A and B are shown apart, each in its own frame.
Chain A
Amino acid sequence: MPAAATETTAPKPKAEAEEDGPKLPADRYFNRTGSTWADYKTDWQDCRIIARGSQVPGQSTYIYVPASYSPIAAGVGAGLGAAIAVAIIEGQMRRANRATCLLIRGWREMKLSPAEVAMLAKLPVAERDSRLAEATGSAQPALGSVVHAWHNDYAELQIDGAAR
């Protein structure tokens, strides 16, 4: 089930939570018409591996990329502070790359309004999970609004929804 608006256990450190499986901020979820939370989990895991450079996108081939060169990391400098900065930047980049991977697979990132977050927080866990699971696969989800969807906008400039 999707990460809920309320967590009953203490949050894990970010890096550890990353490895466990899909966890979204309390106000976001992904939607793809006809899909289930299990589909999302599968794609999330695939995209996690791809974003680390361990798998060719769209194929089942696993690869090993030795000491890959990161232009972003290279710009940061040296030393322990820099190493932490690099880790943060690389973590952010991995998350962004994983999200792009999901968008390319047809998922849309949805953002809940504060009122929807508050409403979900008041529901019993089973009902809340059921509402979110339904929204995950709905063609016209009752919860949230689209904040990210795939478009070929690297090649086709889009401003305010219009290609030019």
Chain B
Amino acid sequence: MKRLTALIALVLAAAPAAGQLSVEKRADLALPVTLGPDQAAVVFAFRRDAAQLGQASMVSWLRYDLDKRTLETQPKDAKKQGLTTTYAFEVRDKGRKLAVDYAVMVVSAGSYVLGGATADPNTGISDIFCFGAPVFTVKPGEVAYVGDFVPHGITKQALGETHNVLGYRSDLGAARAALAARPELATKLAAATLMNGAVYPCYGGRFYAYAIPGVEPLPPMLPPPASPAPPAAMR
């Protein structure tokens, strides 16, 4: 009986996570992480030096249409239609006292833009990066390392303004080492290609821009394609 229970648990663990419109739960790294045919895994960390211990954050990512340069919003009847595309996911920091807290999120393949952040993971997103934010794209089966966020908390700035500050660092080697116990992720882990400057409609909070230092901005939008010339007979 014990062997049967263990077998069932193994089969369930090996099954890919069901596609979700909105993902808030991290992948359970105690079990093998299996991706569905249109899924990818994205890896983040919240990282703290001594000065940031006690600070925490939460970031949200929203599905983005790179061609139209705006959000790809969830259809109202998405559930009725049985859609399983990820339109948003939140990465919640769980370790105010941890030097580093890694999170792996299983999402639909596609492009995602940094939608917002908060200095308090127990509240909703308060700051929206609609004036310009980083965006990345993941393909099916990929395991993409996006980066480490460094929560400084609400901080007074040089010119007197006070707001949340969320630093950014990139350490692919440390992320790979942290996932060593999950070789199905660690062996495929690669740095996501990020681009700054993705804009989208502003709503529901304080609006900012967030640019990852050293990352290139999105290239300018292409003009819409010219209408095809009418057939010669119609000219």
Residues on A lying within 8 angstroms of B by beta carbon are 50-51, 53, 55-59, 61, 63, 65, 68-72, 74, 93, 96-97, 100-101, 104, 146-149, 151-162
Q: Which B50-85 residues sit within 8 Å CB-CB of chain A?
A: 69-70
Pairwise interchain contact B165-A153, C-beta atoms closer than 8 A? yes
Contact residues of B: prevailing secondary structure: loop
Nearest CB on B from A44, distance (A): 15
In contact, A148 and B204 (Cβ under 8 angstroms): no
> Which residues of B158-172 have CB atoms within 8 Å of chain A's CB atoms?
158-161, 163-168
Q: Scan B119-155; emit 1 where CB is below 8 A from any A CB, else 0.
A: 0000111110111100000000000000000001001
B154 to chain A, nearest CB (A): 12
In the bound complex, do residue A157 and residue B205 qualify as a contact, i.e. CB atoms below 8 Å apart? Answer: no
List chain B residues, Cβ under 8 A from A148: 159, 161
Q: Answer whether residue B202 sits at the interface, using C-beta atoms and an 8 A cutoff.
A: yes
A57 x B204 contact (CB < 8 A): no
Neighbouring B residues of A100 by C-beta, 8 Å: 131, 207-208
Which residues on B are within 8 Å of A, measured CB to CB?
A: 69-70, 117, 123-127, 129-132, 152, 155-161, 163-168, 199-213, 221
In the complex, which residues of chain B have a beta carbon less than 8 angstroms from the beta carbon of A152?
A: 209-211, 213
Q: Identify which of B123, B159, B212 contacts A147 (C-beta below 8 A).
A: B159
Kindly list chain A residues whose C-beta atoms are within 8 Å of the C-beta of B131.
57, 100-101, 104
Q: How far is the CB of A155 from chain B (nearest CB, A)?
A: 5
Residue in chain A with minimal CB distance to B116: A71
Instruction: Report A113 CB to chain B, min CB distance, Å.
Output: 16
Q: Which of A50, A104, A159 sits near B158, CB closer than 8 Å?
A: A159
CA distance A146 to B203 in the complex (A): 28
| Chain A positions within 8 Å of B221 at CB level | 59
**B201 with A154: CB separation less than 8 A:** no
Q: Name the contact of B199 in the complex, choosing from A57, A153, A156 (C-beta under 8 A).
A: A57
Shortest C-beta distance, B156 to chain A (Å), equals 8
CB distance from A89 to the nearest CB of B (A): 11
Bound state CA distance, A4 and B125, in angstroms? 39
Q: Which residues on the B side are within 8 Å of A155 (C-beta)? A: 165-168, 210-213
Is B126's CB under 8 angstroms from A158's CB?
Answer: no
Q: A59–B69 contact, CB under 8 A?
A: yes
Q: Complex Cα distance A69/B158, Å?
A: 31
